[in-house]
Each structure stands twice: as structure tokens, then as C-alpha cells.
Structure 1
Amino acid sequence: MYFLMSLFMFICGLLAFSFNYDHFLITLLSLEYIVLSLFLLMYMYMVVSLYDLYFLMFLLTFWVCEATLGLSLLVSLIRGFGNDYFSSFNLLQC
């Protein structure tokens, strides 16, 4: 049951990531939703297989660093461009 729930969460996160092209914040939130579903899937796999959960804490550390990097990019883009619309980003300006 948990496997199907995490798989459904993963597919919903992928759909939200692939169909929202407007805001940078929505894409970051959908990526975090995908990470949350992967965390649930790996946790259930490791509990059922009786593996040690240290690897999961190692991955969780990297996922937190990824979220922090995404948030700092969002703040930088909002300070530089004034909003988080993808259509307002001009690569020729950089």
C-alpha cells in the first residue's frame, strides 16, 4: 500500500514538474515533492529489507543541501529580475 502511495506521489510530482512552466517556485516545490516521495519509497524498502538506515540519512543530507541551493537561487533571481516568471529571464542580460 505504501509503495503505491509513494509511486502515485512520484508520478504527481513529475506531472506537476513537467506541466508548470510559469513560476520557478512551483518547479522547486514539485522537485521537493518528488524528493519526499522518493524518501518514503526508500524508507519503506529499507524497513522491509531490514537494511540499515544510515544511507537514508546520508541521502537526506544531500536533499536538504539541494533544497537550500534551490531556495538561494530563487532569492537571487527575485532580487535580480523582480519576479520568478520563467518568461522574464533573459540569458543575454547576464
Structure 2
Amino acid sequence: MFMYLSGMAVFLFSFNHFLFVLLSLEFMMLAIFLFLFFLLSMMMINLFFSMIYLTMVVCEGVLGLSIMVSVIRFSGNDNLMSLSSLW
């Protein structure tokens, strides 16, 4: 729970750079994965669902990185405040 809340705090308070936002989102997804893994392990349930979750998290991370690359190519930096198209 502490990992998820610390990731949420970084997500809410460091919105200057796109990379910080992506890293905090990935940290929150990692915290959810660890909680899911421990929960499924304690209940002796098949861990296949955790692998599906990891696949979705990796796809989300790749999509975020591709958006970040296109933003950097478009504007020259990853500052979210400098993009007038987002506001």
C-alpha cells in the first residue's frame, strides 16, 4: 500500500516532465502487481492472471514511451507545461 501511495504522490506533485509521470505510473503498476502476486499466492490460485496483467502493463509502458518520443520530437523537450496543445 505504501508503494502505491508513494507512486500516487509523485504522480500528483511532479507533473513537469513527462518521464516522471511515466515512471510514477509504472511504479504504481508494479505495486499493484506485487499485491496481486502475493494475494494469488496466499490463496493458492493459478498465477496466470498475473502474467496477463504484466503483459498489459508492458503494453501500457511501451505506448507511454512512444508518446513521449513523439512529444520530444515535436516540441524538443519533455516538459508538459511547454506544450500548448495539451492546455
With normalisation by structure 1, the TM-score equals 0.89
Selected match of 1:83 from 59, 77, 82 = 77
Give the Å deviation of 1:26: 0.1
Q: 1:71 matched to which residue of 2?
A: 65
Give the Å deviation of 1:91: 1.3
Give the Å deviation of 1:36: 0.6
Q: Deviations over 1:27-84 (max 9, x none)?
A: 0000000001011000000000111011111111111000000000010000000001
In the alignment, structure 1 residue 59 sits paired with structure 2 residue 41: no
Distance in 2 (CA, whole Å) between partners of 1:10 and 1:87 is 25
| Percent identical | 43
Selected match of 1:10 from 4, 8, 12 = 4
User: Is the partner of 1:87 in helix, strand or coil?
Assistant: coil
Q: 1:27 matched to which residue of 2?
A: 21
With normalisation by structure 2, the TM-score equals 0.96
What residue ranges of structure 1 are gaps of 5+ in the alignment? 1-6
What residue ranges of structure 2 are gaps of 5+ in the alignment? none
Which structure has greater helix proportion? 1
Runs of 4+ in structure 1 deviating by more than 3 angstroms, as ranges, are: none
Distance in 2 (CA, whole Å) between partners of 1:21 and 1:55 is 32
